[in-house]
Amino acid sequence: MTTPAAEESFREYVRARGGTLGRTAYLLTGDQHLAEDLVQQTLVQVASRWERILAGGDPDAYVRRVLYHQHVSWWRRHRREAVPVESLPDGAGPDVFGGVALSLTVRLAVAKLAPKQRAVLVLRYFEDLTEVQAAQVLGVSVGTVKSQTRDALARLRVLAPELAALEEVSR
């Protein structure tokens, strides 16, 4: 960034979209600290090109693409390292928090998916993007988005069969 206007525009963008980027990064990584690092890494990379990104129009698609590519790159470098997973405490009574156990089940199952499968599910079901938009963000074909979505959902059914009841209720 070279101009004060570009710097202010970048700051404004970070204030407006930082929370959304953080939530998306958390869904991708499954860890708050890793999500913060991912967002920071993404914003550092985007900041140096901010004027050119603005010249191209709406920066959201570009920033999301950098975020997803940063995540896949990180995953490739660290996939052999152990990732700590929180375990559910033993419960003595009824589930007074309703969907907490379900939420944890989904989170743990999604964390076991390959990065591209996870990215496709986040884009399609969390960010509510179309297949075409998801394909543009990931830099792949629409057919790849469709097959990754199909494979990811099939893998979730294997990893967490208890979620199948939810699928039947939503039909």
Task: Specify the CATH number for the domain of residue 105.
Answer: 1.10.10.10
pLDDT of residue 36: 92
Same domain, 2 and 77: yes
Same domain, 73 and 18: yes
Query: Which of 82, 108, 123 is the C-terminal boundary of a domain?
Result: 82
- Is pLDDT of 171 > 50? no
pLDDT of residue 41: 92
Distance CA 86, CA 104 (A): 9
Task: Specify the CATH number for the domain of residue 43.
Answer: 1.10.1740
Work out the percent of the chain whose per-residue pLDDT is above 70.
80
Query: Which of 57, 82, 107 is the C-terminal boundary of a domain?
Result: 82
Task: Tell me the pLDDT tens digit for each residue of 2-23.
Answer: 688 888 889 999 999 989 999 8
Task: Tell me the pLDDT tens digit for each residue of 59-97.
Answer: 888 999 999 988 888 777 766 555 555 665 555 555 455
Query: Which of 27, 56, 82 is the C-terminal boundary of a domain?
Result: 82
pLDDT of residue 133: 93
Same domain, 103 and 77: no
Lowest mean pLDDT among 30-44, 87-101, 133-147: 87-101
Give the structural domain span for 124.
98-171
Same domain, 69 and 12: yes
Same domain, 10 and 57: yes
Instruction: Count CB neighbours of 39 within 10 A.
Output: 25
| In a domain? residue 90 | no
| In a domain? residue 88 | no
Instruction: Count CB neighbours of 123 within 10 A.
Output: 25
Q: How far is CA 21 from CA 16, 40, 126, in A?
A: 10, 10, 12
Number of domains in the chain: 2
pLDDT of residue 134: 93
Same domain, 39 and 76: yes
Mean pLDDT score across all residues of the chain: 82
Overall pTM surpassing 0.75 (yes/no): no
Over residues 142-170, the mean pLDDT reads 83
